[in-house]
Every structure is written in structure tokens, then in C-alpha cells.
Amino acid sequence: MQYNPGWNGSSVNLLHVRAAGPGDSLHYVWSSIGAPAVLLVATQSPSSALRVNWTQLLSPSPAGAVWIDPPDSVVYSSAVVFTKLFEFGEAKPLGELFYPTYDLSEFSWDSLNHTLNHTALTAELSGVPATDPGGSFSNGSLAFRVTAYEAGGRDGRLPSLLHTADSSQLEFILAGVAPRGNSSHFVLEVATVEEAGAVRRLRSERSIDDEYTPTIFEVLSLVAESQNGSSTLGFLQWKATAYGSRSPRREDGIQCRAQGLQEANWTLPVSSIIQAYFGESLGSTCTVSALNVSFGGEEGQVYQEKRYLSWSVLLGFGQPPRDTFSPLVISITAVALGTPLAMLLLGSCLVLLAQRRRYSEYEPIN
């Protein structure tokens, strides 16, 4: 993990996470220069490196300021941008009342270097609006907590996402922010950028197994696929829940919904790291899609009471991890289904044996 590689200042944030394999390497580049975003690049070289022209990156025309060396080693690149936070409440009989939007490209962000933990491979990007007339953020903040992994496993805190060494986890946190209504709901707008030849699709999978995330039976994945559908290139994956506590429990769950993936027909908010890497292709050959993730439902009062919201999402390359039944669940299922079956077979044998004994004492009349 590198903070602002090649730059001595801390007035801007750029975090480079690199995972090296025997024949390839993966790059995650997180930044709050403009709208907070992450650039994901997979290469077929174990020694590929990130290069940054800081003078150009911080200029009004950053195109070409970020690249991977050697350039011909790149096999896939994508980006995710967190653009806006909406807040709305129920206003009868009008339906929904939307408050002024929080544009994340206009936030003021703290130095990420203060939270960088090279041992735990974590960092936290925290910010507040540059102007806050209503004072909603006077005692609160919006944050993105990044976690990288050296091996496969499962996160210890709910929603206990399954991860691989090729993935990173992002936790979106809204803490202490005063809602502007009595029943406010929040919606996070997420945009993705794909180069020509790849498209994003939203998948929903349901399972009867909620062992690791109690009462949650749905997993959503926003996958990048080649246009012919022959391979999955990258993904965002999350469970259909958020939580209203720093130490989440089942009862702290907040309903989480994904509201339709659409091709964005608007201009992508300024994010220098994305413009710096994709350059002119951002407005021509690249595909920009947008997805709204909403938090709150019938239990929407959870944030109102606790002033805390956290949503975890996994980002990575290739196929998203798939949960399977653990040996414990398999054993319990086998016992639950096997015991009645064994009793049925045993009872049938006893009935047949009893019938044979009863009629064996008599001789047939005819």
C-alpha cells in the first residue's frame, strides 16, 4: 500500500494498493481528487507499476497523468465512482420529498495518511461538505473505509462477506450526520466506467442459507462482462443489508435496495483520477453506467435513532465469490432429513416383521 506515491504533500489523497502474483499483478487506486473513486487495473506482468505525473494530475487537464508501466501489460481496467448522496423523506400526500443533494465531488476530505494501517491493510477516507448551510455535518462525517486482503477468508463483522486475495472491501459509513427530516432515507449513487468491449450487469442471487448473515437471503453483484458474455472481468458484490451500529448485530439491520442499473446519459462528475487514466476515451468509447443504492424501508427509523449507517461492498477481478453450505449446516441438514427417513425405514421393517409373525402361526384354510 502506497500513499501519494511520488508526492510529498498530504493535501490530496491517492492510495495505491498493489497485489503481485507469479505471472500478473492487480492495482487498486483510490482517490478523493474530485469525486471519490477507485481505479481497478489487471496486468499480465508481475512487476507492473503505477506512474503518476502529479503536476498534470492536479491541473485542469489531467488526461494522461496516470498510467501503468509497461502499458502493454494491461489486460483489463475499470473504475467505480461514488458521485452523490441523496436524502428524501415521506411527505403526504406528495409522496417523497427530496432535500438538496450532497455532491461528493464538492466535499472536503481529511488526509487518508492518518488512518493508513500497513499491518491490517486498512485506510479510511473521511469528509464533509465544503459548504454546509444547514449544519447537518457539524457533528458527523461521510467516510469510505478500505480493506485489502492477502488471502481468502471471511470478514469477521456483519455482513461477513466472503473474500479472496484478488478482492478489496469498501465500507460506506455515514456517522453523526443529522437527517433533515423525521423519516429520512438515504440513497448513494454509484457510477461505473468500462472500456470498449465490456458491459455491466446487475445480478441477484437468493439462497436458503443465512448462516453468516442472519435473515439476509439475497446477494447482489454488479459484474463486468465481455460483450459476448464469454467471461466475467470484474465485480462489485454486496448483501441486501446495511447496519445501524458500529458493532453490527442482526437487529441493527437496515434494508438495502439496488434501484436499476442504467447507462448514464449525464456528464460524469469530476474525478481527476478517472479522467487522468482514461483520458479522451472517457467521453467516447467508454461506457458509463449508474446505480442507486437506497438504505431504509419499514425499519428506516434505525438511522434516525442511532445516527449511524454502514454498508459493505466487495470489489475485485474475475468471478465474485460464491457462498456454499458449511460442514456444520450440511451436518445439521443431514441429521434433520436423515433421522425421519431412518425412523420411517425402521418402522416399515418392524411392521413387516410383525405381520409375518402374526400369520405364520396359522395354516391356510384352502
DSSP 282-314: GGTT-EEEEEEEEE-STTTHHHHHH-EEEEEEE
- For residue 160, the 8-state DSSP code is -
Domain contains 73: yes
pLDDT digits 0-9 by tens, 236-265: 999 999 999 999 999 999 999 998 899 876
The verdict on 242 and 277 lying in the same domain is yes
Higher pLDDT pick, 188 / 98: 188
CA distance 278 to 285: 10
Q: What is the mean pLDDT of the segment spanning 119-140?
A: 95
The verdict on 180 and 311 lying in the same domain is yes
Task: Work out the pLDDT band at 341, boundaries 50, 70, 90.
Answer: confident
The verdict on 78 and 212 lying in the same domain is yes
Higher pLDDT pick, 90 / 217: 217
Share of the chain above pLDDT 70, in %: 90
The verdict on 267 and 338 lying in the same domain is no
Helix/strand/coil for 104:
helix
Instruction: Tell which of 280, 295, 317 closes a domain.
Output: 317
Instruction: Give the CA distances from residue 360 to residues 350, 356, 364, in Å, rounded to whole numbers and listed in that order.
Output: 15, 6, 10
Rounded CA Rg of the chain: 26
Find the CATH number of the domain harbouring 170.
Answer: 2.70.98
The verdict on 254 and 289 lying in the same domain is yes
Domain contains 125: yes
Task: Work out the pLDDT band at 364, boundaries 50, 70, 90.
Answer: low
Higher pLDDT pick, 95 / 99: 99
Domain contains 47: yes
Q: In this predicted structure, what is the pLDDT of residue 305?
A: 84
Return mean pLDDT, the chain: 89
Number of domains composing the chain: 2
The verdict on 283 and 332 lying in the same domain is no
Contact 303, 184 (CB under 8 A): yes
Nearest alpha carbon to residue 67 among 42, 50, 47: 50
Higher pLDDT pick, 116 / 365: 116
The yes-or-no verdict on residue 361 having pLDDT over 80 is no
Lowest mean pLDDT among 4-8, 91-95, 147-151: 91-95
Helix/strand/coil for 28:
strand
Domain contains 322: no
CA distance 172 to 144: 5
pLDDT digits 0-9 by tens, 5-16: 999 988 999 999
Lowest mean pLDDT among 73-87, 141-155, 158-172, 179-193: 179-193
Higher pLDDT pick, 135 / 305: 135
- Residue 111 C-alpha cell reads as 488526509
Torsion of CA 238, 239, 242, 246, to 10 degrees: -80
Domain that holds residue 254: 2-317
Domain contains 218: yes
The verdict on 308 and 355 lying in the same domain is no
Nearest alpha carbon to residue 122 among 13, 6, 17: 17
The verdict on 157 and 219 lying in the same domain is yes
Q: What is the mean pLDDT of the segment spanning 281-290?
A: 87
Task: Work out the pLDDT band at 270, boundaries 50, 70, 90.
Answer: low
Instruction: Tell which of 317, 341, 357 closes a domain.
Output: 317
Domain contains 104: yes
Q: Which residues of 212-228 are buried (b: 16+ CB within 10 A; e: fewer)?
A: bbeebebbbbbbbbeee
The verdict on 256 and 356 lying in the same domain is no
The verdict on 340 and 201 lying in the same domain is no
The verdict on 360 and 277 lying in the same domain is no
Domain contains 323: no
Task: Work out the pLDDT band at 154, boundaries 50, 70, 90.
Answer: very high
Instruction: Give the CA distances from residue 10 to residues 4, 28, 82, 227, 275, in Å, rounded to whole numbers and listed in that order.
Output: 8, 19, 21, 40, 21
The yes-or-no verdict on residue 153 having pLDDT over 80 is yes
The yes-or-no verdict on residue 71 having pLDDT over 80 is yes
Domain contains 170: yes
Burial class (CB in 10 A: 0-12, 13-18, 19+), 139: exposed
Annotate 48-67 with DSSP letters as a single string: -EEEE-HHHHTSS--TTSEE
CA distance 185 to 134: 17
The verdict on 155 and 188 lying in the same domain is yes
Q: In this predicted structure, what is the pLDDT of residue 91?
A: 61
User: What are the backbone angles phi and psi of residue 280, rounded to the nearest 5°?
Assistant: -65, -25
Nearest alpha carbon to residue 225 among 204, 265, 195: 195
Task: Work out the pLDDT band at 95, boundaries 50, 70, 90.
Answer: low
CA distance 145 to 124: 4
Higher pLDDT pick, 25 / 282: 25
Q: In this predicted structure, what is the pLDDT of residue 353?
A: 81
Helix/strand/coil for 105:
helix
